[in-house]
């Protein structure tokens, strides 16, 4: 099943070029009082309502995908976890390209650990990435992203995929500089998730998935998750030994070689096999 959030926080099931509007399924979500939970309420309930969503989609009103504004499929992740330098060829380009490393020592994920991105950076493909903030080079990083559906601590690699609620295309935007990743990758609009959430039964094995990003029609990054240094199972286990994972937590698995700058007016066309295509516009700094 392919689940999207669109327009004014409506929920849809994607079928071909159309979206079946199943927003009424949200009626089951609890109303909450302060303090708010630190997990996503929709992702929490998804196992209970998945069958209902699918049934409702058959007779629900439909819209063309082209006519809606797609939002991040996950509305309230408790945290957004990033994987630094998780592809060997990206490590090589980061080590050799001084415009990327700026004199810093580049360490791979086994030495660097993980990093967190601010939740306020999160947008969907129907919004635009803002490039050129602080007058700095702004780079695209396409990544296979996924959301945790069952939380836990100290999760084993063997059971790790049982904790995934679905997969998405992720953009981990970044400004180049010497600051901490949590600063450079957390500017507003710097985390893009979409175009929809593909559930694991439909997505299948995440260990051998092709993906590509084109900017203005030109291929910039093209790789396969088989080249991940820490694959999806190991990433989940690794993260869960540092942080308690909650339902709705998002993990971005890392980017391959080919990172490069975007400027206002550019169009990023992101594709991941078994998910689809997500088109994201690059805008300039708002006045
Ligand atoms: Mn990244």
Question: What separation in Å is there between the alpha carbon of 143 and the centre of ligand 1?
Answer: 7
The 8 Å CB, 24+ separation contacts for 236-240 are 236/148, 236/155, 236/157, 236/160, 236/161, 236/163, 236/164, 237/155, 237/156, 237/157, 237/160, 238/109, 238/114, 239/81, 239/114, 240/152, 240/153, 240/154, 240/155, 240/163
CB 254 within 8 A of CB 87: yes
Q: How many CA atoms lie within 13 A of 159 on its CB side?
A: 10
d(CA 31, CA 52): 20
- Phi then psi dihedrals of residue 145, to 5 deg: -115, 155
CB 185 within 8 A of CB 80: no
Question: What separation in Å is there between the alpha carbon of 50 and the centre of ligand 1?
Answer: 30
Look up residue 113 and give its two tokens.
């650990």
- Model confidence, pTM: 0.97
Question: What separation in Å is there between the alpha carbon of 40 and the centre of ligand 1?
Answer: 23
Question: What separation in Å is there between the alpha carbon of 64 and the centre of ligand 1?
Answer: 31
Reading the chain (287 residues) residue by residue, the pLDDT tens digits are 999 999 999 999 999 999 999 999 889 898 899 999 999 999 999 999 999 999 999 999 999 999 999 999 999 999 999 999 999 999 999 999 998 999 999 999 999 999 999 999 999 999 999 999 999 999 999 999 999 999 999 999 999 999 999 999 999 999 999 999 999 999 999 999 999 999 999 999 999 999 999 999 999 999 999 999 999 999 999 999 999 999 999 999 999 999 999 999 999 999 999 999 999 999 998 65
- Phi then psi dihedrals of residue 190, to 5 deg: -90, 0
Question: What separation in Å is there between the alpha carbon of 83 and the centre of ligand 1?
Answer: 6
Minimal CA–CA distance to 194: which of 127, 111, 264? 127
3-state helix, strand, coil in the chain (%, to 5): 25, 35, 40
Look up residue 3 and give its two tokens.
């689940």
d(CA 153, CA 164): 14
Question: What separation in Å is there between the alpha carbon of 86 and the centre of ligand 1?
Answer: 8
- 3-class secondary structure, 182: helix
d(CA 150, CA 192): 22
| Residue whose tokens read 């082209």 | 66
Question: What separation in Å is there between the alpha carbon of 144 and the centre of ligand 1?
Answer: 10
């Amino acid at each position: 099943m392919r689940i999207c959030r669109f327009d004014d926080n409506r929920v849809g099931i994607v079928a071909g070029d159309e979206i079946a509007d199943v927003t009424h399924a949200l009626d089951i979500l609890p109303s909450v009082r302060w303090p708010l939970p630190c997990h996503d309420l929709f992702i929490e309930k998804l196992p209970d309502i998945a069958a209902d969503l699918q049934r409702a989609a058959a007779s629900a009103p439909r819209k063309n995908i082209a006519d809606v504004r797609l939002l991040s499929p996950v509305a309230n992740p408790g945290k957004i976890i990033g994987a630094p330098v998780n592809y060997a060829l990206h490590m090589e380009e980061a080590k050799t390209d001084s415009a990327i490393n700026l004199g810093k020592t580049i360490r791979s994920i086994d030495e660097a650990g993980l990093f967190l991105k601010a939740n306020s950076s999160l947008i969907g493909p129907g919004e635009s990435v803002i490039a050129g903030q602080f007058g700095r080079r702004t780079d695209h990083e396409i990544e296979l992203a996924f959301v945790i559906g069952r939380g836990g601590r100290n999760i084993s690699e063997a059971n790790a995929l049982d904790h995934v609620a679905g997969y998405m295309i992720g953009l981990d935007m970044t400004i180049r500089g010497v600051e901490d990743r949590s600063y450079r990758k957390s500017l507003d609009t710097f985390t893009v998730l979409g175009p929809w959430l593909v559930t694991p039964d439909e997505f299948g094995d995440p260990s051998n998935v092709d993906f590509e990003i084109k900017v203005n029609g030109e291929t910039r990054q093209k790789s396969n998750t088989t080249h991940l240094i820490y694959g999806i199972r190991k990433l989940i286990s690794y993260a869960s030994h540092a942080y308690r994972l909650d339902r709705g937590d998002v993990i971005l698995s890392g980017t391959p070689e080919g990172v490069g700058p975007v400027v206002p007016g550019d169009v990023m066309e992101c594709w991941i096999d078994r998910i689809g295509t997500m088109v994201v516009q690059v805008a300039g700094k708002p006045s």
